[in-house]
Amino acid sequence: MHHAAAKWYDRRDSVFVEFCVEDSKDVQVKFDKNKFDFSCVSGTDNIKHQNTVELFGAIIPEESKHRRTDRSVLCCLRKEEVGKSWPRLTKDKAKCNWLSVDFINWKDWEDDSDEDLSSFDKFSDMMNSMGGDDLPDLDGAEEEHDSADSDDEKMPDLE
């Protein structure tokens, strides 16, 4: 038995754990209030993976679920205490060599007063609050593409 490599990230009401196993078969995930078990067989060599995770906080097993893809198994653990951040996935502070933080999906949501705004909306609101009346209108920029630009001038020969 091998541990499956996994990445995790925290959200306001859920914790996500992605087990990075390609071509998984016989996937079994069992959710309990304070832990969950994951097992599968993967690859052409039929390598058996098994992970048992004692969780930092309590989850609601009935509302937790998993989804298998060709490249991984993503588990969504529904937190019992919504709004409480998890500084780590595991109950113990000991580092697990098979577990890492998913920095691509990580979000520091504790500082967000309005989590429903998308990143684009936040960026737009920030730009609008900064003013910007002197910014050019870019709607017609593609129509002016034929006009000469200062960058289009011939460069002088090097000596």
Domains observed in the chain: 6-92 (2.60.40.790)
Decide which of 126 and 64 is more confident: 64
- Give me the pLDDT at residue 129, please: 52
Distance CA 56, CA 89 (A): 5
Band (1; pLDDT cuts 50, 70, 90): confident
Interatomic CA distance for residues 46 and 115, integer angstroms: 42
Closest CA to 9 of 114, 112, 103: 103
Kindly tell me the sign of the dihedral angle through the C-alpha atoms of 20, 50, 77, 109. negative
- The pTM score is 0.68
Q: What is the CA radius of gyration of the chain?
A: 24
Confidence category of residue 151, pLDDT binned at 50, 70, 90: low
Do 48 and 68 meet the contact criterion of CB atoms below 8 Å apart?
A: no
Mean pLDDT on 38-63: 94
Strand segments, DSSP code E, in 92-141 are 99-101
Q: Quick check: 79 and 13 in contact, CB under 8 A?
A: yes
